[in-house]
Structure 1
Amino acid sequence: MRKRVRVIPYGRNLLLEVARRLVREHYSPRDPLSLARVTVLFPHRRPAVYLRFYLSQQIGAPFLPPRIYAIDDLIRELAASIEDPPRKALGPADQAWLLFQAIRERRNFEGICTSFDRFFPWGIRLAGLFEEFYKELIIPPPLPYPEGVPEEAEPLLEDLASIFQAYEGELEARSLTTPGRRFRTVASGIDEAPLGDGPFYIVGFYALTAAEERIFRHLWEEGAEVFWHAPEGDLPPLYKRWKEKWGLELEREEGEGSSPHISYIEAYDLHSELLQAKKLLKEREDRPDRTALVLPDPSALIPTLHELPEGQKVNITLGYPLSRTALFALLEGLMRLSSGRDPERGYWVRDYLAIMRHPFIKRLRTRSGKEGRIVLHLLEERIREEGRPFFSLQQLMELLLREEDRGRNEAFLASEGIGFEEAIRFVEEIHERVISPWGKVETPRELASCVKEVVRFVTAPFLSQGSGGLPPLENEFLYSLEAEVIPALEGTLFRDEMMGQELLFNLLRRIVSVTRTPFEGHPLVGLQVMGLLETRLLSFERAVIIDVNEGVLPSHDEVDPLLPPQLRPAVGLPPKEREEEIVWYHFEMLVRSSREVYLIWQSSIASGEGLEEKNVRSRFVERLLWEEERKAGRLLEEKVERVPLEIPSSCLLSREGLEKERERVRRFIVAKSSRDGLSPSLLNTYLQCPLKFYYRYILGLRPKEEVVEDVDATALGEVVHKALEEDFRPFLGRVFRPEAEEPERLIELFRSRFRMTKGYQALWGERRLFVEEVAAFRLRQFLENSPKETFIEGLERSYSMEFPIGGMPLQFSGKVDRVDRREGLRIILDYKTGSVDEFTQRAFIEKIFPFSPPPDLDYEGLREVRRTIKDIQLPLYVLLVTGGVPREIGRTTAAYVILQDKGQENYFLPPKGLREVKERWVEWFEGGFLSILEYILCHILDAPLFFRATEERFCRFCEYEPSCHFAW
């Protein structure tokens, strides 16, 4: 009976040492079964591939390899031999269902068990907890009065023992088991398990569950060899515990005496990390144990593959989450589309368009082989033109079939070689085969069928003969879906149970969330791209590890609401801190077993809100650095290579705007002047942002028309303007007294006009009522705060006049909402439903009146004009309405009517101030204002650039901001 454990130091290749041992102790060229009698047990499957590789190198001839098991595979085989008959192992969803069946009739669980839908998330967590109990050989105790858990979870913990007993009863009655329960079965029956008579090797295990410990203790006492991989000095904590508990004697192999060379590299972001990794991977790798590129976060796999040297042979060995794939993104989008469907209004258009824009849908072809994306583009344009937020599938088809648009649709499709009927059938087929089935599923089996049919429909064009097929990665993802997810739904215990749509969709999400696409990496070639857990027991000459950041290594797991960390010891489970110790052991083993190690982390990541937040290196990096600093007796921060953010000079904007084609601008201004006249809004646009002026007026760019989902402020303002004009029209040329008029007439005019808009159609129920009532309230306030008596001189009247600017006669024009006469003054009013800059008499006297435009047509000069005058519209209205006649200017002022603020009138110069500074007012219009107007026009015509916005706030809600390189 052996009492020793062999310890291989980190500096030596554990699997190579095991291979040498097997060849030395058991291989005989004359006996082809010499190695086949040996059994080798590993924590996972990847070491088996390397062990066979090293054996082939040692033997150099064909041979029958040992029986090599991963622990899960051995347990599955032994459990099947112990169970009579062998039992089916349930997945998490079935375990939750069985738990639901076990306790649903109990009175103390009535709240949480009102439906499987409500119980499901708790059932999944409870099933996971029981799996831990099985592996730790624990019969769970009750937890009376548990603290720090949600109210729904309290009865589950208080009756933990009885629930477990009932669950066990259900499993026994149905002759079922679970993966964790198999460990308990094997641990209990290990004495009778058929383990064979040959040599047995247990290699590379570190943290043992109670079941594993009992199984290994039996194997070891029966003669199995145990191999550890540990540093030459102190043992890691869990090895110490193992040694003391078993009373072990250690047989240590000598190390090679060399420590790895560790490079610490701080990069800026993932792309910067991959650039550094690419520099380290220039040479093509031929041996599978030479270089490993390790990805602790599997989400980095796709960008990593795009950065690898061209022609480099690669093994990918990690489990990529199926939930991160484009294939599941389509399924998730379809579930969201179906869940968001309103029974009366139909599908939410944003969800519908997200499906139509998905790559798998856009790449579908019509029956004659034409590109379907052309048809989908046409459909999207019609949806945007219609402007409604919800459509039924029938209404969507009617957009294409509508008589008034049919000729236009047919002409567009014909230009692309697509027949109209063919296009209609293409859209109908997507509706029938991809969208409609989701609304009909009622059982897991039907959901499986739905997923299967949808996936086969959207991937069929790529799998047909001569299509070239799906890209290799997409093929793997498709295989995972068809081999794991769909069978899990079809084979579940409750596959024919009627369920709500949301529960079914959450069930699919749950199954996908735990599904990993297993890139196996066969046969062994060149560069190894691996997850951290896949590197366990492996040794490489070079290890390049990226994303060595806190939160990634170790990862931050969410707190379990069913059993928070502080309650784990109360039920006999190991503390959560042990998991970090296990991850550190495997990380340190990889580092210490390599000759060269490159640890690369990000210094900053996008926060998702347009800002950058500081990211920090992993505590594991700090631990390695601290060990080196302790030996050196000083800080070694200079060992960290900090990679600067490199931006090509061509990407840096050395100027403040875009080059101006002056002749083109001049032609536009002349044409605009002669055709429509230059409007105050055009000039205000330039004052606020010359680039916006360029995009809108010179280029004629219009923002993409979006589907209306709420009331557009501009559209609502137009409705209010029209209602006010119509309400005041009977009083044109007459005195208007608000108290003599009923506000309901104005409100009814607003409502009737509002109900004809797309914005009204976009709203639903309470939101419509809310908008109408708020608008009615504002209009009442406006009338209540209007002057008691005013003479209405003009409504929606257009004015124009010509000024010579820079020796060039230019026409200016504007439409004024209303012109009143009050107490001998003419008042020009412009309604505003939003906010505007505030004007004061003091500002006019102290800033505007003495202001002279700057001499230079530059950015700062324009900003100075904007800061001073704030707005060109009101004074230009005064000039237009008065025709520039000094006498009329002296008794005319202008104001914005702020409808959102009780109809307050915000004057450029209030009437009282006008009377006090009448001469200055007239003088300013004859000189100062004209010089400002001339400066703005000269700036438009002759400034070298279209400069960026004069204030940051103008970019905030600008429709051009997403594509403007000069936005603040």
Structure 2
Amino acid sequence: MRSFLKEVIDDIQKKELDISQLTFILPSKRAGTFLKDILSHSISKTTFAPEILSIEEFVESLSDLSYASNTELLFEFYLVYTQLTPEPQRDTFDQFSKWGQLLLQDFNEIDRYLIDPDHIFDYLKSIKELNHWSLSEQQTPYIKNYLAFWNRLKIYYNAFREKLILNKKGYQGLVYREAVNGIEPYIGSNPNKQHVFIGFNALNNAEERIIQELLQQDLADIYWDIDATFIKNPIHDAGLFIRQHLKNWPFYKNNQMNWVSENYRSEKNIQTIAVPKNIGQVKYIGELLDSLAPGDLKKTAVVLGDETLLMPLLNSIPQKVEAINITMGLPLKSVPMASLFDLVFKIQKNHNHTLYYKDVVAILSHSFIQSVLTHKGVNFSNQIINYIQSNNIVTISVDKLIALAGAKYEVVRLLFQSWENSSEKAFRNCSKLILTLKSELDLEKSKHLLALEYLYRFNQIFNELEHYNTKYNLISNSTTLYFLYKELLSSETLDFKGEPLQGLQIMGMLESRVLDFETVIISSVNEGILPAGKSSNSFIPFDVKLENGLPTYKEKDAVYTYHFYRLLQRAKNVYIIYNTEPDVLNGGEKSRFITQLQIENIHHIQHSIVVPNVEVVQKQPKIIEKTPGVITRLQQIAGNGFSPSSLTNYIRNPLDFYYEKVLKIQSFEDVEETVAANTLGSVIHQTLEDFYTPHKGQLLTEADLLQMKAQINASVAHHFKSFYKEGDMTKGKNLIILEVAKRYISNFINKEIETLKAGHQIKIIHLEKELDIAVVIPELDFKVRLKGTVDRIDEFDGTLRIIDYKTGKVNQGQVEIVDWEDITLDYNKYSKSFQILAYAYMLTATEGISQSLEAGIISFKNLQGDYFLKFGKKPSSRSRDKDHTITKETLDSFYGELKKLIIEICNPEIDFIEKDVGY
């Protein structure tokens, strides 16, 4: 394959021109690097290198202006705006910055296309006067201000332009307009200087004027890179601009075009590949690269339609690819350090000297902060996070955080102290934070080279912002600072080091201009990406743009059409990859470029759909083998005592029992922003224990219960404070839960009062009674104990009752049993029965009960009718007969099932097998 640049150089050599005396002008700097390489291989004798410029560099040299950054332009424009706008109608810099950038883009387009600014602004003003929303003859102040803004656009433009020219600076469009004015003096100063323009396509009016002037003076040649297929087809967008140039430029009335190639119709291997999801695309690109021969990689380009896929792609490059050159930079907003500063700004947004715990934890958990808050083996980040979680802190003061930070209090102060919405404090703190992070990372520099590079670039951004603030004094608060910081960050990139002419080339679509490759892989060829489609970020309506010759989305689409087809012109192998999956923003539609290739029917297009090779895996339950170590641990647990809840946990899922009891893995306790169910239960249990303890061994009276009711508010609040620690119970859901707890207890005591009024007697025997018994299991050669705590034991009209409190809803059916074998099989249905029978078994073994015994549950969510839900044994599932009395036979039957369960748990031959419990 002979590249376009090689063809140009060969043609120039054929004309026997002195290359060292030429000035080459190309669309991009990158194309200049490739041109130098081709020149080094094409010229056989020693000579001076010619001048090689990008079009922007050449235009800048003509204009006598230098390019200003977007941020600087915004500040300068605001100064002009404030001078020309009456104070009542004047926006603050915050408000202005949101629309100022848009207007600057319009100024840029007007100047690049040499549109008469007076004409277009008068045109816009007239439209707005016709279209405003008020139909009354008398205009309101809002209408007057609205129209005044459009009237002043021309004044803003002229004043801004004059100021920039005075300062020898400009936005791109102004530089181009001034360059047109500077072309005649330039020609006068360089009457013999020859220029070669290479590989252009879409030119704005200023570029056209400059190039045509040099062509007319016989001081330039221009080489177009276009294929006959596109230029001869009057409706093919790839040739749209060059057809217009041929038609409209006076130069081409007497001269031929250099030149039209016939490469596109040559035989090519073109494949379109449909891949689900963006990550699927980059993984497939990795497979494609792995299939290429090592020698072909240096002739291969990966062109990313969506440049955000750069990092995933780099992680998908196969090991055989030794050399990579990345044309595009890594966006600075994508590096980990950017997320840290985003979190710091987020903290400041609503800073009122107390901070939301999630914002604090997010910063303390950040990888960079974790490393700098570690001192002498102590990780202060984790210590603070653990303190917040263990004390259930939802909001925490800065002073408290500093106090918890130990030796690292200065870092914590910088991270969390308030900027008081002052830009000066913000700059000072950010600068100190960067220097503090640097000093910490410097201690182990070899480990943190990349982090230090990130830090250096962020330091540059804040220094630049501080410089602008010192010069213009317009960043009045941290909100404005954050907006400008994001604006600067969005345009900053980290450049990759590499040899630009070696290895695999990774680039964006615009970086591919003028360059040719034998193998081209293009990703994200979807509508909305390639081409970008309709978008209107402009004050100038579509029809006004058409009227005045400004580019619309159609021209922008044509630019990408040209670049897409130009990549295909000389390539031999083309892989066009698109995402098949619908996306929130872009949809899943393949690009019109692919459809166009199919309809043209010039090449045979191979279509394929690629999906991940996902094997159908039947979910297998996890199985944990009972090793000798596990058996030893189970024997320890048995000796210490199984609790009814641990046994029902085993019934529910043996794996949970293994994790909790054998491995002692506790569930992670996060901060309770809203009171958890177990906290509510603990508060109710503790409150009732406090109420009934003074009455142990006594018959309850109505007066006793009324006295308890009077103490509900104080006692519940006290226990919430105890369990919920520093959590806020004064508002929101927590306040509702506090009232629910009070209502539960009040309703329960009311039920107790009703029971006494009905003539029943209740005598409190025990509260929170701890039971611990030995369980004789002849089959096991080690001791087994059963232990647990009964919420309440009382005597009701002479019958002993074992009571378990439940804050959740329990139905009568959950404390009834038909077949004893089921009690250790179905957790959902029989776990409540198992627990209360275990308590009855332990109590009987401990105290040798002679009187009639009942066991049951009081459900605070189900205090209807007979609120004590008694355990019952039924002869059949349909029978209404129930035996509520717990007899020796009942306990013997329970013991049989309990013994079987414990033997199963301790049996080395029976592994812990996971149950599907519908997590």
* Structure 1 position 313 matched with structure 2 position 323: yes
Q: Which runs of 5+ in 2 are unaligned?
A: 134-140, 757-761
Which of 340, 365, 368 is the matching residue for 1:330? 340
SS of 1:788's partner is helix
Larger radius of gyration between Structure 1 and Structure 2: 2
Alignment of 1:558-577 (within 5 A): 560=537, 573-577=550-554
* Structure 1 position 435 matched with structure 2 position 420: no
Residue in 2 that maps onto 1:859: none
**TM-score, normalised to structure 1's length?**
0.77
Q: Contact 2:837 / 2:891 at 8 angstroms: preserved in 1? A: no
Q: Contact 1:849 / 1:920 at 8 angstroms: preserved in 2? A: no
Deviations 1:735-781, CA, capped at 9 Å, x for gaps: 35498456341121011232344543466776765554454455445
Residue in 2 that maps onto 1:297: 306
Per-residue deviation, 1:312: 1.5
Counterpart code for 2:197: I
Q: Contact 1:364 / 1:372 at 8 angstroms: preserved in 2? A: no
Counterpart code for 1:894: G
Residue in 2 that maps onto 1:22: 12
Deviations 1:24-73, CA, capped at 9 Å, x for gaps: 3354xxxxxx3343233322221111111111111134433333222322
Q: Whole-Å Cα distance in 1 between the matches of residues 902 and 344 of structure 2?
A: 53
Q: Whole-Å Cα distance in 2 between the matches of residues 158 and 806 of structure 1?
A: 98
* Structure 1 position 260 matched with structure 2 position 268: yes
SS of 1:729's partner is helix
Q: Contact 1:186 / 1:193 at 8 angstroms: preserved in 2? A: no
Residue in 1 that maps onto 2:194: 199
Superposed CA RMSD in Å reads: 4.7
Q: Whole-Å Cα distance in 2 between the matches of residues 450 and 705 of structure 1?
A: 34
Q: Whole-Å Cα distance in 1 between the matches of residues 694 and 143 of structure 2?
A: 69
Which of 496, 504, 507 is the matching residue for 1:527? 504
Q: Whole-Å Cα distance in 2 between the matches of residues 26 and 443 of structure 1?
A: 62
Residue in 1 that maps onto 2:856: 894
Residue in 2 that maps onto 1:45: 29
SS of 1:39's partner is strand
Q: 1:750 to 1:763 in 2, by over 3 A?
A: closer
SS of 2:62's partner is helix
Residue in 1 that maps onto 2:827: 866
Q: Whole-Å Cα distance in 1 between the matches of residues 470 and 268 of structure 2?
A: 52
Deviations 1:386-442, CA, capped at 9 Å, x for gaps: 5534444543343366xxxxxxxxxxxxxxxxxxxxxx2xx134246x537872783
Q: Whole-Å Cα distance in 2 between the matches of residues 691 and 614 of structure 1?
A: 44
Counterpart code for 1:51: L
Q: Contact 2:80 / 2:159 at 8 angstroms: preserved in 1? A: no
Q: Whole-Å Cα distance in 2 between the matches of residues 35 and 73 of structure 1?
A: 20
Per-residue deviation, 1:683: 2.0
Counterpart code for 1:941: C
Q: Whole-Å Cα distance in 1 between the matches of residues 441 and 748 of structure 2?
A: 63
SS of 2:679's partner is helix
Moved more, 477-486 or 588-597: 477-486
SS of 2:228's partner is coil
Per-residue deviation, 1:325: 1.0
Moved more, 556-565 or 722-731: 556-565
Q: Whole-Å Cα distance in 2 between the matches of residues 822 and 708 of structure 1?
A: 39
Counterpart code for 1:678: F
Counterpart code for 1:260: K
* Structure 1 position 388 matched with structure 2 position 393: yes
Residue in 2 that maps onto 1:160: 150
Which of 110, 114, 122 is the matching residue for 2:99? 122
Counterpart code for 1:940: I
Q: 1:500 to 1:91 in 2, by over 3 A?
A: same
Q: Whole-Å Cα distance in 2 between the matches of residues 902 and 222 of structure 1?
A: 102
Per-residue deviation, 1:725: 1.8
Alignment of 1:268-283 (within 5 A): 273-281=281-289
* Structure 1 position 172 matched with structure 2 position 179: no
* Structure 1 position 849 matched with structure 2 position 849: no
Q: Whole-Å Cα distance in 2 between the matches of residues 798 and 154 of structure 1?
A: 82
Residue in 2 that maps onto 1:419: none
* Structure 1 position 728 matched with structure 2 position 713: no
Q: Whole-Å Cα distance in 2 between the matches of residues 896 and 382 of structure 1?
A: 36
Per-residue deviation, 1:821: 5.4
* Structure 1 position 544 matched with structure 2 position 521: yes
**TM-score, normalised to structure 2's length?**
0.80
Residue in 2 that maps onto 1:230: 226
Residue in 2 that maps onto 1:640: 608
Counterpart code for 2:307: P
SS of 1:639's partner is strand
Q: Whole-Å Cα distance in 2 between the matches of residues 264 and 58 of structure 1?
A: 36
Deviations 1:784-830, CA, capped at 9 Å, x for gaps: 56661252534222345555558347433332223455577665543
* Structure 1 position 813 matched with structure 2 position 794: no
Q: 1:475 to 1:722 in 2, by over 3 A?
A: closer
Per-residue deviation, 1:463: 6.0
Per-residue deviation, 1:654: 6.8
SS of 1:587's partner is helix
Residue in 1 that maps onto 2:438: 459
Q: Contact 2:3 / 2:516 at 8 angstroms: preserved in 1? A: yes
Q: 1:884 to 1:492 in 2, by over 3 A?
A: closer
Which of 174, 177, 181 is the matching residue for 1:182? 174
Residue in 2 that maps onto 1:591: 568
Per-residue deviation, 1:521: 5.0
Q: Contact 2:24 / 2:198 at 8 angstroms: preserved in 1? A: yes
Q: Contact 2:28 / 2:54 at 8 angstroms: preserved in 1? A: yes
Q: Whole-Å Cα distance in 1 between the matches of residues 276 and 748 of structure 2?
A: 55
Which of 500, 503, 518 is the matching residue for 2:477? 500
Q: Contact 1:825 / 1:911 at 8 angstroms: preserved in 2? A: no
Per-residue deviation, 1:323: 0.5
Per-residue deviation, 1:849: 0.8
Q: Whole-Å Cα distance in 1 between the matches of residues 442 and 627 of structure 2?
A: 56
SS of 1:336's partner is helix
SS of 1:538's partner is coil
Q: Contact 2:582 / 2:588 at 8 angstroms: preserved in 1? A: no
Q: Whole-Å Cα distance in 2 between the matches of residues 950 and 480 of structure 1?
A: 51
* Structure 1 position 398 matched with structure 2 position 403: yes
Q: Whole-Å Cα distance in 1 between the matches of residues 343 and 563 of structure 2?
A: 38
Q: 1:885 to 1:724 in 2, by over 3 A?
A: closer
Residue in 2 that maps onto 1:404: none
Q: Contact 1:485 / 1:512 at 8 angstroms: preserved in 2? A: no
Alignment of 1:431-830 (within 5 A): 431=412, 434-435=414-415, 439=419, 442-443=422-423, 450-460=429-439, 467-468=445-446, 471=449, 477=454, 480-481=457-458, 486-491=463-468, 495-497=472-474, 499-519=476-496, 521-548=498-525, 552-554=529-531, 560=537, 573-601=550-578, 616=588, 618-619=590-591, 622-623=594-595, 626-627=598-599, 639-640=607-608, 642-645=610-613, 655-661=620-626, 663-675=628-640, 677-707=641-671, 709-732=673-696, 733-735=698-700, 737=702, 740-741=706-707, 743-761=709-727, 772-773=738-739, 775-783=741-749, 788-789=754-755, 791=762, 793=764, 794-801=766-773, 803-804=775-776, 807-808=779-780, 810-819=784-793, 828-830=802-804
Moved more, 308-317 or 759-768: 759-768
Per-residue deviation, 1:202: 2.9
Per-residue deviation, 1:853: 4.7
Q: Whole-Å Cα distance in 1 between the matches of residues 625 and 535 of structure 2?
A: 55
Q: 1:188 to 1:75 in 2, by over 3 A?
A: closer
Q: Whole-Å Cα distance in 2 between the matches of residues 303 and 839 of structure 1?
A: 54
Q: 1:875 to 1:172 in 2, by over 3 A?
A: farther
Per-residue deviation, 1:897: 1.9
Q: Whole-Å Cα distance in 2 between the matches of residues 904 and 70 of structure 1?
A: 90
Q: 1:523 to 1:208 in 2, by over 3 A?
A: closer
Which of 54, 73, 89 is the matching residue for 2:57? 73
Q: 1:555 to 1:728 in 2, by over 3 A?
A: farther
Q: Whole-Å Cα distance in 1 between the matches of residues 346 and 358 of structure 2?
A: 11
Q: Contact 1:323 / 1:512 at 8 angstroms: preserved in 2? A: yes
Q: Whole-Å Cα distance in 1 between the matches of residues 744 and 438 of structure 2?
A: 55
Q: Whole-Å Cα distance in 2 between the matches of residues 215 and 905 of structure 1?
A: 94
